[in-house]
Amino acid sequence: MEERERLTQQIRELLEGGQERRLTDLVEELHPADLASALRELPRDDQVRVFRLLPSQLAGDVLSELDDAIQRDLVRSLDEAEVSRILDTMPSDHVVEVVEELPREDAEKILDLMEEEKSEEVQELLEYEEGTAGRLMSPRFVAVSEHTTVAQAIEHIRKAASGDA
């Protein structure tokens, strides 16, 4: 039996047995791509049940790994507050990919519920046409001089990540 099939079967058994704690422990240890692969094999209701057990960061990572159709259906199966919480943990360019698949009204509701800064970044990226460099870029980057030492660059990156730069 292939690893993905074994994992999918294990998830099914834990869902059927109502063993959500064990299921949570299992899925939290998986790589997002492996979990996404197993989720693809489950019926929609089970996908939603598993997805709701995930911490926001892991849910965002898994969502990024899913095919557009599954991603869209899963997002539509969750309420806007759940989706906005998950999208807040994702890079803005990945959020754009999710949001642009939604009906405009749903996307606007979700963006309104997201953290203000993240929502603004996403809306800015959405202003660029699909397939352009502007749409694909990440608005967050750190630049250092070519004369900067490695130690200085690392310190600058740390400060930028903490918001002190």
Nearest-5° angle of CA 101, CA 107, CA 108? 155
Whole-number pLDDT of residue 36: 92
Residue with tokens 């694909």: 136
Confidence of residue 136 (pLDDT cuts 50, 70, 90): low
Q: Are 63 and 98 in contact (CB under 8 A)?
A: yes
Higher pLDDT, 165 or 135: 135
Environment class of 73 (CB within 10 Å of its CB; exposed 0-12, middle 13-18, buried 19+)? middle
User: Cα separation of 15 and 26, whole Å?
Assistant: 12
Query: Is the separation of the CB atoms in 82 and 55 below 8 Å?
Result: no
Residue position matching structure tokens 């999208």: 87
CB 110 within 8 A of CB 80: yes
pLDDT digits 0-9 by tens, 53-108: 898 889 989 988 888 888 888 888 888 888 888 889 888 888 888 888 888 888 88
DSSP string for residues in 52-87: HHS-HHHHHHHHHHS-HHHHHHHHHHS-HHHHHHHH
What's the number of CA atoms in the CB half-sphere (13 Å) around residue 18?
0
Greater model confidence, 140 or 23 = 23
Confidence at residue 31, expressed as pLDDT on a 0 to 100 scale:
92
Query: Which tokens hold the place of 9?
Result: 């079967």
Structure confidence at residue 122 as a pLDDT band (50, 70, 90):
confident
- Report the share of the chain in percent with pLDDT over 90: 17
